Chain A
Amino acid sequence: MIRLHNLERSYPLGRGQLFYVLRDIDLDIAEGDFVSIMGPSGAGKSTLLHILGMHDHGWTGEYFFDETAVHHLKAKERATLRNEQIGFVFQQYHLLDDLTVYENLDIPLSYRHYSKSERAALVADALDRFQIVGKKDLYPRQLSGGQQQLVGVARAIIAGPKLLLADEPTGNLHSSQGEEIMELFRRLNEEGMTIVQVTHSEKNASYGKRIVQLRDGWIV
């Protein structure tokens, strides 16, 4: 599903020098895989995740997504591909404070070509599936951290992506809430969702099928 070849990401340091965040990355991720990217701080984990999520465009090398050569796509084409295929879960949940649970779930759909009734149906499904129907009118600040991340995951998959990217999804949660989220990820993966997560936690990594270790920008 994903193939990275000789992918590099660097930032200019001045006087023509470059600082490499990622170096010579070769990585294959098959459909239905559950990959955990681990490594110390500054190893390039989140950068790799954002490149996979097509947020970061300043890299070199090759990136194929389902045989589509992402490295040849323009920014707008990448955005379209991302909207169709990828969902995100963030460590800080990043729910929009002024929107209710329902409205937060509706946001990704509003940026895709769904009719109003389709959106309503999909949001209703998500609320039902994640058992948060009773909280649909609450604002994020009225939810616990675990509930907020639950909404964050629901929002990430509501538009039916093939790939779910998660950046430290349990980083702000206490252990029992974290376990619930990781169990959810496992179920989603079992249902066929490809998942790539960045984590510091060995325990969370154990929910995945394999681990990719990064150190100083290199896969080790």
Chain B
Amino acid sequence: MTADLKYAFRMLVKAPAFASIAILTLALGIGANTAIFSLIHELFLRGLPFKDPSRIMHIYGEAKERDLKQLPFSVPKFWHYRDGQTVFSSVAADWGNGYILTGLGEPVQVLGENVTANYFDLLGIRPILGRSFLPQEEMHDDVALITENFWRKRLSSDPGVLGRSIALNGVVTTIVGVLPNLPISWFGRDTEVFTVKPFENSNATKERMMLGYSFMRCIGRLKPDVTMEQAQSAMPALVQSYRTQHPETADCTWTSVLVSASEDVTGDLRPAFVTLLIAVGAVLLIACSNVANLLLVRFSGRRREIALRMALGADRRDVVRLFLLESTTVSVIAGIIGWCLALWIVALAPKMAGDNVPLENSISLHWPVLVFTLALSLLTGLAMGCYPAWQSSRADLIEGLKESIRAVSGSRGQHRLRRGLVAAQVALSMVLLATAAMLASSFVRLSNQETGFRSDHVWAAGIGLPDGRYPDAASRGRFAQRLVDEVQASPGVETTATVEALPMSGNYSQTPYARADGNPLPVNHRPLGLTRSISPGYFQTLRIPLLAGRDFTERDGTDAPLVVILSNSTAKKLFPGENPLGKQLLFGVDHGNGLMAEVIGVVGDVRSRELAKANDVEFYRPSPQRSFSFFNLVVRTSVNPETAAPMVRAALDKIDKEIPILQPNTLDTIITQSLGQRRLTMGLLGAFAGIALLLAVVGIYGAVAYTVEQRTAEIGVRMALGAQVKDVLRLVVRQGMNPVLIGLGLGLVAIFGTGRFLTAQLYQISPHNPILLALTAAGLAIAALLACLVPARRATSIDPIQALRAE
């Protein structure tokens, strides 16, 4: 065995061209597979770093008849479920919050969560220092848990961190524990602080909360003897009892749906990663078939050596083993290089994905990935080496020993196999290239999608106001107005406004609504509509056209009559054939029937939630009448929008030095980031399709070049019999292109068969788009033709005399 291994190495060193082409080809295939497997391992297989995460369920609200899905929990509903359920060993809740951290240098905004006291116990996360929250602390004590990052970065790994006080939103809060760094797939990026007052929310009054204002993520850990299905079947009883006991709440008509925690964080990503996994599988198959072709040629050319070994006593198994050792040596070396390639791809992935895919900033390749790569390398080596080794070991001893100068072309079966491998490579490449082309086309279409607003020259940032100093809508309104005025007066600023949630940022809120006239539905049967609180000047800043009526003004304040502006689609939907101006709408859950607001304007439609989908309904409300402690400032500048940051800082310093700027960015960047997942899929698939094309072209070239070499004598005879340059070209190209055309046909059939799986990932393009498919097929055919032409040109320079003599 060792001797055979040494021999295998020696043979590879002796054939550096073969070895390097085979190793690089396989390395590309193995590297791509390892990279995607790493990402899949990271996102889907490794699981959340919780105790037994498959037992943790996210409980969603759902109202299918109103097309409402994945709805959060309200406080009364959480209490009802927590106290009434029998299938979970515990139920907990959390909701994201921003905190202004003061007392540690410059005031900064930190992201965090308000959680129930049992939250981390339910997840099975133990603090690395100190303790978790105690039940008696819930809603009573100003205590906090911080992450290791916070402790190291902001507190310089202070050993006396436990018991140390920090000011969060102006409230002195005691640190009771340090948590390990937490997965961004569950907690989001940069979440660092946790407090234990989950049933307080400055954005809603107590009355609104008790009427079903839904803002919490509710989770439960299944009891040891309860399955997910059993838990799900227990939900209707809870829904019913909640409906009976809290008929006044807006969420009492919703059903409850359980989603396991792991599926919850990756559900949307599955189709994209299935596509990528199939793509890299195809790349590996192409690479394997290329190398199998090379091995077939190489082993066939060693018939004399095989015959000699057999004459000296080797049996067929010995020969097969020798060749398999050679092929697995190639694949293992390729695996090592592929591993390095995967490291590089995986390092790029989070940058390509942006905030859109929950990938940690640095992904390391864990041991399952190493095992995967090693197994893949060995399997690949065995799979691609088996047939060539078996075929070559069938050499006839006497014929093999007679063989001298003449190259051996192999059997008809081997020829067929080689052509079949080329056809398969082309078919797979066709599918990959067409898929990549469609995803790229979708991406371009999405990138160019008209949003309805102008994002250029707009700078945006979050501002969070501590409840202590800004307890009500009036104080927040005064702050926002002053900030807008200060920034507006800065040089280079065209317009400024505030908005509750930026378009395309992934943040949005929905409110129950109904026409006030006629017989409005009960509040808990009303649909939810996208609602955005804005200040006057928002439409102007984002260049959203006012189509009818008027914009908000400073007069639309807290005490003024409630008003609303509709998007054009909303106006048409709610008031078909009518003039909506002056009409009344009911909003929210206040007083059990919502508050009445008058329609004062209609503006153009915008795509504010996702680029791929127009908003069905969108309402705009004046900030003072629907106030939040967190809002965004948008600034349109006549110069580089980045220059707005220091001006806003200066304006804030004049008003309240302790208010930090959170997540400053340009609106263009925010929109670009919203396409992160598509960019990642398209980028990776494009790269894999490129590799597939390269490998297929190399494979076609190799197969045709080998055929030309094997057919030198035949071509010489044909030339001696009158074949001219064009005849030889035609002969070689036709034979080379035959499997290519078959492959293209098979590829097209495969696309038509599997295209529907792609539909969900495409935008405004059919997976069977004839132009794109034709262009892809033509591009691949041209590449294949060029690959055939090089050896074909060489064939025309064959000297018939030399060819005939060699024969």
Contacts and interface: CB of A to CB of B under 8 A. Distances in A.
Contacts of A56: 801
A159 B722 contact: yes
A35 to B, nearest CB: 20
Q: Which of B713, B718, B722, B727 has the most CB of A within 10 A?
A: B722
B804 A111 contact: no
A79 interface: yes
Given A92-B807, A96-B714, A50 B801 contact: yes
What class of interface size applies to chain B in its complex with A?
10 to 19
B801 A76 contact: no
A82 B801 contact: no
A72 interface: no
B717 interface: yes
Given A55-B800, A56-B801, A94 B717 contact: yes
B380 to A, nearest CB: 32
A88 interface: yes
Nearest to A111: B722
Given A94-B713, A94-B807, A111 B724 contact: yes
A155 B722 CA distance: 11
B722 A82 contact: yes
A108 B801 CA distance: 17
Given A56-B801, A94-B717, A112 B807 contact: no
Contact of A55 (B724, B801, B807): B801
Given A55-B800, A92-B807, A107 B718 contact: yes
A53 B720 contact: yes
Contacts of B719: 55
Contact of A83 (B722, B800, B801, B807): B722
Contacts of B800: 55
Interface in A58-113: 76, 79, 82-83, 88, 90, 92, 94, 96-98, 107-108, 110-112
Contacts of B721: 88, 107-108, 111, 155
B616 to A, nearest CB: 66
Contacts of A107: 718, 721
Nearest to A88: B720
A96 B717 contact: yes
Contacts of A83: 722
A53 B719 CA distance: 11
Interface string B792-804: 0000000011001
Contacts of A55: 719-720, 800-801
B758 interface: no
Contacts of A92: 804, 807
B17 to A, nearest CB: 28
B162 interface: no
Interface in B572-606: none
B722 A112 contact: yes
Contact of A90 (B718, B724, B727, B804): B804
A107 B718 CA distance: 8
A59 B586 CA distance: 102
A155 to B, nearest CB: 7
Interface in A24-70: 50, 53, 55-56
Given A94-B713, A96-B714, A79 B807 contact: no
Given A94-B713, A96-B714, A96-B717, A79 B724 contact: yes
B336 interface: no
A76 B722 CA distance: 11
Interface in A111-163: 111-112, 155, 159
Interface string B708-748: 00000110011111111001000000000000000000000
Nearest to B718: A107
Nearest to B415: A98
Contacts of A159: 722
A24 B719 CA distance: 28
A50 B800 CA distance: 10
A155 B718 CA distance: 11
A94 to B, nearest CB: 4
B717 A76 contact: no
A96 B721 CA distance: 11
Interface in B328-387: none
Contacts of A76: 724
A76 B723 CA distance: 11
A88 B720 CA distance: 7
A56 B802 CA distance: 10
B722 A108 contact: yes
Given A92-B807, A94-B713, A96-B717, A79 B722 contact: yes
A14 to B, nearest CB: 19
Contacts of A88: 720-721
A83 B727 CA distance: 13
A83 B720 CA distance: 9
A11 B807 CA distance: 21
A111 B723 contact: yes
Nearest to A165: B720
Q: Which of B719, B724, B727, B801 has the most CB of A within 10 A?
A: B801
Contacts of B722: 79, 82-83, 108, 111-112, 159
A108 B625 CA distance: 93
Given A90-B720, A107-B718, 17 more contacts: A50-B801, A53-B720, A55-B720, A55-B801, A79-B724, A82-B722, A83-B722, A88-B720, A88-B721, A90-B717, A90-B804, A92-B807, A94-B807, A108-B721, A110-B727, A111-B718, A112-B722
Interface of A: 50, 53, 55-56, 76, 79, 82-83, 88, 90, 92, 94, 96-98, 107-108, 110-112, 155, 159
6 contacts: A50-B801, A88-B721, A94-B717, A94-B720, A96-B717, A98-B412
